[in-house]
Amino acid sequence: MTCWRRLSNATTGGREAPLRLTSEYPIDALAPTIEILVDMPSLMLDMLSLEREGRQHELLERRKTFRDLHPGLFSAYIRMR
């Protein structure tokens, strides 16, 4: 999901513009996504701990939840293990 955009060079006089949130992505709509992404590192660490402890049944449930929440981060987790 891309929610930040650079202003075009025409609107900034040719210089590099800062990233700005565009109106087509209202922050209220992003709030649940932002909260989920903040929890992702703790979820990944939790899964690695379960893996190390050999708690496979709990690990399978967490992996399914994680894969459903964010497939891209899930594939990064799989590569990291």
Q: Where are the domains of the chain?
A: 26-80
Closest to 72 measured CA to CA, from 19, 28, 33: 33
Closest to 4 measured CA to CA, from 14, 12, 23, 15: 23
CA 37-25-12 angle, 5° bins? 110
Per-residue confidence at 16, pLDDT binned at 50, 70, 90? low
Strand partners, 5: 20
pTM for the model: 0.45
pLDDT of residue 69: 78
Torsions phi, psi of 59, nearest 5?
A: -65, -40
What does the pLDDT look like over 21-68, one tens digit per residue? 444 444 444 444 444 555 667 777 888 888 889 888 888 888 888 888
More confident residue, 79 or 41: 79
**Residue that has been written with the tokens 């703790």 in this structure:** 42
Query: In whole angstroms, what is the distance from residue 48 CA to residue 80 CA?
Result: 10
